[in-house]
Structure 1
């Protein structure tokens, strides 16, 4: 039990660091979209969104699932030669693929532009993204290596702060100079080059990058092969809507959809914070035969992702018009039509917790591929039916349908095969009580409250405190939650004995009641 609490404490401490960086990183990514949206027309913003979706899909294919493989295998080896070899193995797989895809994108840029874009600038834009692709792929492999060493600080600086920060600064400067949509291509290329160098500098501080090595390409490919499908499909689930909208409808509708989409996607920030150390910790626990500990950590982190994310979900569902106007301006008012729907899909994804990483840690990557492939087929089918007639509203319906299907499959297999589930009587009370109590109150408040720069933070603070009270009163707290409270008290230096009274006492292995949760 002490070991399990220690692992959970390490995970939560990491999550706190990554969450800060993740919030800043997500804010920077959103700011990037806002800068583009406000400095360009909705149509031009839609063009940029299609291009970035194309880059994301291409990078994911080039990585061939190796990022998770690198993060998983590095902590399983003790020798530096093996760990260095894992990183090199990732590069040996990803770099040839990235150069091949980049060459294809560059050569067929005119054809791609004619099918997905509406402006002549698109050809140059696509070619810039093609040149950036190998640099982005190598950067991701370096971050995967850092993740394998369970170092949250380096990852946060490189991926969440430096990379988006460089992009937003470059994009803003170039757009103000009148460069147009090509500004995004230039910014992504320059940012990728710089962050690639910085990430490898950080990785070199964790292990010497030059020296003897033992490659593990076969092991990496055996693990990553099912992930090639699952990770590509996973990204396609988030980008197919944008690409199909670009093909079937106008860039204006793409712009509306991609104004709502990143706002709803922000609901995954807390989930992402838990994810950085989750895979290597869960992998190590499984290798040591501590599967019950994996179950407990998965359940505890999932519940707190749900609780911490709920206030933001409430904001997007109840005040969509206010949020869109505040962030993107009146030109994007139509995006409020789909923001609540997309928020539901992303919130349910967050509420499923790190289900895919849990299966990866257990080595059951085939089922991740099955879940992702099923969801993608459904996504494409629904998009084909709904986008031609209903445009970006149909794309939103397809997105939510596929996300829910994906997590039903993954969570169902985790429960059936391994008995791992985020549900318990206490957690279930938490999951039910928050929407039952706060959604009606939020709807009632929307008639008298308007979300603005002045009211945004107070609303989230009040909703957050109300969420904690509701969970406590409903009996949603469990013994493992003491670790969360300990971290909060250690971080802030503030004791909260009142909250301790709501947390059940943990029994030791001998059956005695531990005194770590005494309310006094």
Structure 2
């Protein structure tokens, strides 16, 4: 088996586990938010979300981009200089621990000034409580990033995606059952974050994932910070890209319009779920190939993985793009149906983001995080300018266009720089053929102007579309040998004989 196939199978196995974890986390997270929204007033729910938003921004600054750089750096040093891995881990943890304590103090001291920005007095005591969760959140993220660097998904899935959401749901339910006051939710949040950290810490100590030994290498720390700072700014820019449209809709329009848009936006953001799942193990595995100078294997891994992600994402995209009214009606109800055009536009933007693959992470792998920062800066500028120009006239459709264009700009920049530096791109011939087939079929169905009001009428059409699509993909012989090797690996893992499917595949490979 080639190194490309081995890398792909490791990524695929990790993707499946991370995807399951994300689904579980989303489910319990949704239940928790529903309880909070129903138990407290709309104003109190808003204060809670504002406090977590401020904490999220602080977390990006505190971690200095280490959460995105450490998986690459650990895998890279393991291959090139394994003796320095321990010092790298210890140095990173010390820097983040000290930085988190400093920013905890800053948040507590500046709570009143921050609350004045949002014109919300209740935010003062909220920030003074949740600020103490900052070190726990930051160090939890670092430990998970370290385990990611070792090619592990267990710590992320068990502790971040399963244990914490369940624990948080139980604690939130307790608030409602015992009729506790609003301030209690912030103490409960602090308790949940600290319990998650200590559970993860003792597990890492138990299995001896890495040596918990005090060691600070000043030179290594400087190198890590210099490499990671662009990624910190990328995190801030991504935060701006996520929230600019909502904030500007609130400024130019009304809270009702914001509510309509936030029916379409969260749905569209589900489209890259497989891309995000694959992103967890991709950096450490591909970093090893890069450290060995195996650029051709990297390119092949990138191309096959991008094709898999596109094929898995297509059904989600198709239902939102072809039947936006039915999708929104099914999930949010009739009063949000007017957000359908915005969902359709956002779906295009996030699908474009998906079908170009993990270009940004690959730039990090080859040691070029600054290029991500440059591309995302242009994307944020275009987002703000287009929102200013389009929202006053077109409302949520204008906001959707601005967001879709910003993702287009960011991904074009990333893919351009990646190709220029390494000649890596996603467009193998066996990927181009499925792309063309999907564009043609989607265009044909869209041209029929089907007015489907119920998701139950949309599903049979979608099933026929996907059946025809995958038949044409087979007929066009778009199956690679790595696809077959992965299929055989899955068959062995499940312990079943998929003989009929194998016979079909043999005819079209």
Across the aligned residues of Structure 1 and Structure 2, the Cα RMSD in angstroms comes to 3.4
- The more displaced of 372-381 and 350-359 is 372-381
CA contact (8 A) 1:139 1:196 kept: yes
1:193 maps to what in 2? 194
Identify which of 401, 404, 410 aligns with 1:397: 401
CA contact (8 A) 2:441 2:465 kept: no
2:293 maps to what in 1? 289
**1:317–1:174 CA distance, 2 compared to 1 (3 A):** farther
**1:334–1:86 CA distance, 2 compared to 1 (3 A):** farther
CA offset digits 1:136-195 (Å, max 9, x no partner)? 111111110110111112221122222333334444554677779867645543332222
User: Cα offset for 1:434?
Assistant: 1.7
User: Cα offset for 1:306?
Assistant: 0.8
Correspondence 1:128-143 to 2 at 5 A: 128-143=129-144
2:164 maps to what in 1? 163
CA contact (8 A) 2:111 2:127 kept: yes
CA contact (8 A) 1:139 1:199 kept: yes
1:359 maps to what in 2? 363
Q: Secondary structure at the match of 2:212?
A: coil
Q: Secondary structure at the match of 1:480?
A: helix
CA contact (8 A) 1:38 1:328 kept: no
Identify which of 90, 107, 111 aligns with 2:92: 90
User: Cα offset for 1:65?
Assistant: 0.9
User: Cα offset for 1:494?
Assistant: 4.1
Cα distance in 2 for residues equivalent to 1:38 and 1:328? 16
Correspondence 1:181-260 to 2 at 5 A: 185-186=186-187, 188-204=189-205, 205-211=207-213, 213=215, 215=217, 216-245=220-249, 250-260=254-264
**1:141–1:299 CA distance, 2 compared to 1 (3 A):** same
CA contact (8 A) 2:71 2:283 kept: yes
Q: Secondary structure at the match of 2:454?
A: coil
- The more displaced of 442-451 and 200-209 is 442-451
Correspondence 1:324-343 to 2 at 5 A: 324-329=328-333, 332-343=336-347
Structure 2 unaligned blocks of 5 or more: none
Q: Secondary structure at the match of 2:213?
A: coil
Identify which of 498, 502, 505 aligns with 1:497: 502
- The more displaced of 70-79 and 43-52 is 43-52
Identify which of 302, 327, 351 aligns with 1:298: 302
- The more displaced of 369-378 and 192-201 is 192-201
**1:83–1:416 CA distance, 2 compared to 1 (3 A):** closer
**1:435–1:190 CA distance, 2 compared to 1 (3 A):** farther
CA contact (8 A) 1:308 1:464 kept: no
1:148 maps to what in 2? 149
1:21 paired to 2:21: yes
CA offset digits 1:213-242 (Å, max 9, x no partner)? 464312312321322222322232223334
Cα distance in 1 for residues equivalent to 2:258 and 2:41? 12
Identify which of 419, 429, 449 aligns with 2:433: 429
Q: Secondary structure at the match of 1:266?
A: coil
Q: Secondary structure at the match of 2:279?
A: helix
1:5 maps to what in 2? 5
CA contact (8 A) 1:30 1:262 kept: no
**1:246–1:28 CA distance, 2 compared to 1 (3 A):** farther
User: Cα offset for 1:278?
Assistant: 0.5
Cα distance in 1 for residues equivalent to 2:46 and 2:462? 30
Cα distance in 1 for residues equivalent to 2:402 and 2:99? 30
Cα distance in 1 for residues equivalent to 2:259 and 2:440? 34
Cα distance in 2 for residues equivalent to 1:446 and 1:428? 27
**1:334–1:397 CA distance, 2 compared to 1 (3 A):** same
User: Cα offset for 1:110?
Assistant: 4.1
1:406 maps to what in 2? 410
Cα distance in 1 for residues equivalent to 2:259 and 2:127? 18
CA contact (8 A) 1:481 1:503 kept: no
2:419 maps to what in 1? 415
CA contact (8 A) 1:147 1:276 kept: yes
Cα distance in 2 for residues equivalent to 1:174 and 1:337? 39
CA contact (8 A) 2:133 2:193 kept: yes
Q: How many residues in Structure 1 have an aligned counterpart in Structure 2?
A: 501
Q: Secondary structure at the match of 2:408?
A: helix
User: Cα offset for 1:371?
Assistant: 0.9
Alignment TM-score, normalising by the size of structure 2: 0.86
CA contact (8 A) 1:268 1:347 kept: yes
CA contact (8 A) 1:302 1:351 kept: yes
User: Cα offset for 1:97?
Assistant: 3.4
1:511 maps to what in 2? none
Cα distance in 2 for residues equivalent to 1:192 and 1:21? 18
**1:313–1:80 CA distance, 2 compared to 1 (3 A):** same
2:68 maps to what in 1? 68
CA offset digits 1:31-60 (Å, max 9, x no partner)? 455555666787776665555443333211
